[in-house]
Amino acid sequence: MITSVYTDRLHLRYLTENDIELFHEMQHDIRVMQHITGFIFSREENEKDLKKVIAAYKKEKNDFWVWAVDFNNRFIGTGAIIKNEKKEWEIGYRFLPDYWGKGFGTEVAKALIDIAFTKMHVDSLFAYADKENLATVKILDQLFNFVKEEWNEKDQCIDRIYKLSN
């Protein structure tokens, strides 16, 4: 599978256990997690999550791809292509707050779309965003086709649902 991808400014690569400090910092920040889970994760939960992601790289027929996103050789976030509960291929990304508003979300989303369609050969790609997450909504409105808004019972928010076909 895709072990490494470069964009103009970013490097998407496999996560390693060396990423735990900044991975934890990101997933322990409510500003990052407010539109994703609505809550933060403990150090122990993040260590377990990171190990799960790393182990998934070796799985045959893996459907849970999460890459570290580096800028200037520094971890700044993650980008993902996963098969969700609805068996749809879905992209997602998150960044440390210091890296918000710099165009990295658009750059990573474009890279994930390219990976999904040219390397993974998926037919359709989805993205879900809490409608209150205005920065992500703006990105997805540019790159995807808006499908509908729907109440998300699990996350207690209104999701905007997007789709892109190959």
Domain coverage including residue 148: 4-165
Tokens in use for 52? 């799960």
Cα Rg of the chain, angstroms: 15
Torsion sign (Cα): 131, 134, 135, 139: positive
For residues 43 and 98, give the distance between their C-alpha atoms in angstroms, rounded to a whole number: 20
Q: What is the mean pLDDT of the chain?
A: 95
Could you read off the pLDDT of 47-63 as tens digits, one per residue? 999 999 999 999 988 99
Q: What CATH number is attached to the domain comprising 103?
A: 3.40.630.30
How many Cβ atoms from other residues are within 10 Å of residue 134's Cβ?
11
Question: What is the tally of structural domains in the chain?
Answer: 1
pLDDT band at 35 (very low <50, low <70, confident <90, very high): confident
